[in-house]
């Protein structure tokens, strides 16, 4: 039933100064790219992607940006939170050579996707990008796998100096990439989308919109011609994105009012 | 051939199925998508004068037999909403603009703006059960309802529907007040006031604590309200509450509804529910030898 199931926090891991992973016991089958609604009793309920799937243990990894994420950050082991979901479509892997691109907190949901894709025994490259090296996380976790891990920072403090999109252009020249999977700031994903269209690479991008019901009725998260990010998304293909005029242009806040996100 | 066309005063509908207010109707895209299904009309989200975020999350949860929500009338404000309505092409169906205000003047301004945006009819939300100063808080008083409807009637020329709440002692008295004020139809019902407490954390789950109950559980309440209103007034009724299948539609029409609205049904069946309802109603009518859906309006009153 779509109502919060109360779970105890099993463990908490610090990833950076402002990013933590919270692990809890939650049975329902979940695939990478799906998300939960996390109820912090008395505070808020917010969408969070699954960042680790280990049988009945699931995790979320989040950055502090406001009140809800701050309260989540301050919770202790054994504190109670409510979980409903998983929601949304999740990734579906296509092609032979896969490239994953996580920007900022987007890395959180890209990591389990990489791990799951590797089960196909096909070549996987992954770009982890952030403004600066202190904001990177999950590097060790992914370096332990068979994926080729590339790092990009805007300031060059670690790895390639520059945007993940620039590094993407470099990698697709060297390797025959069939599909790109990405989650990160929308403008980053828009640049990657343009690269994919130009180079005929298929794309799956994970979009974020303000969410309330997460079950497809309140209309809060609708984009394009009535696509619900909570149901038909959050992962959209290059073909779908071509018809979503909002992509990289605007989102809507809690009132439904449009907010320009163009540079 | 079975005829499903119905009429709410002079508003012609190709079938009796309308999208209820507050469900997939915050932007043009989602309403266009619903109109491509077999919905004859969509009701917009309830729109007020100013931008409103609504209540904090949790604003929604599912219960055993229905849904509980306390969205709290989030909306971008009437001035921002015009561009959404203008983007919808009315060829596929009709648009009914839902508005909420805290007094007569607000309703006048909102109704004029909605009419200018090009909606085919107005729905006055006098029934939201969980927003302070709006909806039900002013929709319990027959005199207030009468005043608001009268004023809106003078401001616009399109049909005016009045949406009422079941959370009152005597809904018929309110329906009569709306009819006397010049309403063209009554919409019944809005959600039923309800609450869910989580016993582990020992607190109501909704941030607003109290919400509105919708979906399957409230159908008998909707049916009873429509049945009683039908005996009290002469203007048409639009039945809402808990519709998920063709038989539910037939039941509302027999109780006295000329058309129905569907909200939570989208949760249970997806947006294809409008096509499903159409097929199921046609099948029932064919099996029971009815050619015209209008023949069934109010037949349960014996
Ligand atoms: C499908 C999905 C998956 C997400 N996964 C992750 C994740 O894995 N890790 C992570 O750190 N963040 C994730 N987010 C973003 C996360 O939900 C927001 O950072 C969080 O809601 C902020 O809440 P706040 O109260 O701390 O901040 P606020 O100060 O309330 O808001 C800060 C920002 O968060 C956005 N936000 C607030 N409430 C919501 C809401 N109910 N729905 C969507 N956005 C909201 C606001 O629009 C604003 O831009 C995801 C969002 C979506 C839609
Ligand atoms: C998520 C949600 C939001 C709603 N928002 C509104 C609204 O803005 N205005 C309104 O008049 N009714 C609103 N309603 C009430 C519905 O329009 C409808 O009257 C009620 O849900 C009963 O019908 P149903 O059982 O088919 O959902 C809302 C209902 C739900 C579930
Ligand atoms: S969050 Fe309500 S429709 Fe997606």
Per the CB < 8 A criterion, the answer to whether A213 and A87 are in contact is: no
- SS3 for B42-97 is EECCCECCCCECCCCCCCEEECCCCEEECCCCCECCHHHHHHHHHHCCHHHCEEEE
Per the CB < 8 A criterion, the answer to whether A237 and B56 are in contact is: no
Ligand 2: which residue has its CA nearest to atom 28?
B22
State the average pLDDT over residues B38-67.
97
In a domain, B40, yes or no: yes
Ligand 3: distance of its center to the CA of B182 in Å? 36
State the average pLDDT over residues A188-209.
98
Number of residues that this document lists for chain A: 263
Other C-beta atoms closer than 10 Å to the C-beta of B252 total: 31
Q: What is the CATH number of the domain that holds B83?
A: 3.20.20.70
Which phi-psi region, left, alpha or beta, contains residue A139 (left: φ > 0; alpha: ψ -120 to 50)? alpha
The position carrying tokens 């982890």 is: A128
In a domain, B211, yes or no: yes
Per the CB < 8 A criterion, the answer to whether B52 and B106 are in contact is: no
Q: Which of A80, A216, A219 sits opposite B200 (nearest CB)?
A: A80
pLDDT in tens, A80-119: 999 999 999 999 999 999 999 999 999 999 999 999 999 9
- Ligand 3 contact, A37 CB (< 6 A): no
Structure confidence at residue B145 as a pLDDT band (50, 70, 90): very high
| Mean pLDDT estimate for chain B | 95
In a domain, B51, yes or no: yes
Say how far apart CA B302 and CA B299 lie, in whole Å: 7
Beta strand A202-206 pairing with A179-183: parallel
Say how far apart CA A178 and CA A32 lie, in whole Å: 19
Q: Which helix (H) or strand (E) holds B275?
A: helix B273-287
Structure confidence at residue B136 as a pLDDT band (50, 70, 90): confident
State the average pLDDT over residues B257-282.
98
In a domain, B158, yes or no: yes
Query: Of A62, A2, A54, which Cα lies nearest the Cα of A29?
Result: A54
- SS3 for B279-301 is HHHHHHHHHCCCCEHHHHCCCCC
Nearest ligand atom owner, CA of A257: 1
Does the distance separating the beta carbons of A214 and B60 come in below 8 Å? yes
Distances, alpha carbon A147 to alpha carbons A114, A127, A143, A177, A211, in Å: 8, 10, 7, 14, 33
Concatenated DSSP letters for A213-252? SSSSSS-TTEETTTEETTTT-SEEEHHHHHT-TTTTTEEE
**So what's the pLDDT on residue B204?**
98
pLDDT at B91 over 90: no
Q: Label residues B15-38 b or e (16+ Cβ within 10 Å = b).
A: bbbbbbbbbbbbbbbbbbbbbebb
pLDDT at B127 over 90: no
Say how far apart CA A139 and CA A127 lie, in whole Å: 10
Q: Label residues A94-128 b or e (16+ Cβ within 10 Å = b).
A: eeeebbbbbbbbbbbbbbbbbbbbbeeeebbbbbb
pTM for this model (two decimals): 0.96
Q: B23 in contact with A at a CB cutoff of 8 Å?
A: yes
- Ligand 3 contact, A261 CB (< 6 A): no
Query: How many domains in chain B?
Result: 1
Ligand 3: which residue has its CA nearest to atom 3?
A216
Q: B79 in contact with A at a CB cutoff of 8 Å?
A: no
In a domain, B88, yes or no: yes
Say how far apart CA A196 and CA A193 lie, in whole Å: 5
Q: Which residue of B lies nearest to A224 if distances are taken between CA atoms? A: B29
SS3 B219: helix
Structure confidence at residue A260 as a pLDDT band (50, 70, 90): very high
Exposed/middle/buried for residue A41 (C-beta within 10 Å: 0-12, 13-18, 19+): buried
State the average pLDDT over residues A167-190.
97
pLDDT in tens, B191-232: 999 999 999 999 999 999 999 999 999 999 999 999 999 999
Q: Is B172 a catalytic residue?
A: no
Q: Which structural domain, as residue segments, surrounds residue B278?
A: 6-301
**So what's the pLDDT on residue B10?**
86
Query: Of B94, B157, B90, B151, which Cα lies nearest the Cα of B126?
Result: B151
In a domain, B241, yes or no: yes
With the CA atoms of B240, A253, A87 and B63 taken in that order, what torsion angle do they form, in degrees rounded to the nearest 10? -40
In a domain, B1, yes or no: no
Say how far apart CA A258 and CA A214 lie, in whole Å: 19
Does the distance separating the beta carbons of A1 and B62 come in below 8 Å? yes
**So what's the pLDDT on residue B89?**
74
């Amino acid at each position: 039933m779509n109502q919060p199931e109360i779970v105890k926090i099993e463990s908490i891991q610090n990833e950076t100064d402002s990013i933590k992973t919270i692990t809890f016991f939650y049975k329902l089958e979940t695939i990478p790219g799906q998300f939960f609604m996390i109820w912090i009793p008395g505070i808020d309920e917010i969408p969070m992607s699954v960042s680790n799937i280990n049988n009945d243990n699931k995790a979320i990894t989040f950055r502090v940006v406001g009140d809800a994420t701050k309260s989540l950050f301050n919770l202790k082991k054994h504190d109670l939170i409510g979980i409903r979901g998983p929601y949304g479509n999740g990734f579906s892997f296509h092609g032979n050579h896969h490239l994953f691109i996580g920007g900022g907190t987007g890395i959180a949901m890209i990591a389990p996707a990489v791990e799951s894709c590797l089960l196909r025994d096909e070549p996987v490259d992954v770009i982890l990008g952030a403004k600066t090296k202190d904001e990177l996380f999950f590097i060790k976790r992914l370096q332990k796998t068979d994926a080729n891990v590339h790092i990009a920072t805007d300031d060059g403090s670690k790895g390639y100096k520059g945007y993940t999109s620039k590094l993407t252009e470099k990698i697709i020249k060297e390797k025959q990439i069939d599909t790109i999977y990405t989650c990160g700031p929308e403008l980053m994903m828009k640049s990657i989308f343009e690269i994919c269209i130009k180079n005929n690479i298929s794309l799956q991008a994970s979009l974020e919109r303000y969410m309330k019901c997460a079950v497809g009725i309140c209309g809060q998260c609708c984009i394009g011609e009535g696509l619900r990010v909570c149901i038909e998304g959050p992962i959209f293909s290059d073909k779908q994105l071509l018809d979503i005029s909002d992509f990289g242009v605007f989102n809507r806040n809690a009132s439904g009012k449009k907010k320009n996100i163009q540079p | 051939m079975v005829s499903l066309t119905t009429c709410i005063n002079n508003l012609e509908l190709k079938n009796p199925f309308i999208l209820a207010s507050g469900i997939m109707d915050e932007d043009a895209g989602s309403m266009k998508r619903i109109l491509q299904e077999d919905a004859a009309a969509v009701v917009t989200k309830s729109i007020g004068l100013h931008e409103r975020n609504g209540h904090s999350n949790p604003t929604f949860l599912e219960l055993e037999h229905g849904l509980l929500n306390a969205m709290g009338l989030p909306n971008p404000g009437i001035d921002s909403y015009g561009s959404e309505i203008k983007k919808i092409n009315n060829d596929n169906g009709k648009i009914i603009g839902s508005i909420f205000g805290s007094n007569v003047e607000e309703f006048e301004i909102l109704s004029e703006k909605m009419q200018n945006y090009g909606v085919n009819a107005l729905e006055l939300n006098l029934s939201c059960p969980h927003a302070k100063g709006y909806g039900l808080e002013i929709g319990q008083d027959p005199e207030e309802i009468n005043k608001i409807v009268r004023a809106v009637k003078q401001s616009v020329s399109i049909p005016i529907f009045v949406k009422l709440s079941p959370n009152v002692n005597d809904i018929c008295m309110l329906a009569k007040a709306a009819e006397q004020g010049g309403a063209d139809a009554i919409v019944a019902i809005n959600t039923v006031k309800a609450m869910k407490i989580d016993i582990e954390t020992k607190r109501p789950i909704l941030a607003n604590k109290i919400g509105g109950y919708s979906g399957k559980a409230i159908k008998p309440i909707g049916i009873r309200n429509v049945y009683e209103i039908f005996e009290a007034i002469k203007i048409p009724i639009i039945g809402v509450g808990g519709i998920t299948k063709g038989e539910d539609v037939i039941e509302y029409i027999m109780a006295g509804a000329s058309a129905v609205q569907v909200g939570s049904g989208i949760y249970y069946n997806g947006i294809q529910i409008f096509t499903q309802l159409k097929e199921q109603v046609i099948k029932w009518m064919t099996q029971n030898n009815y050619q015209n859906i209008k023949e069934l309006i109010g037949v349960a009153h014996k």
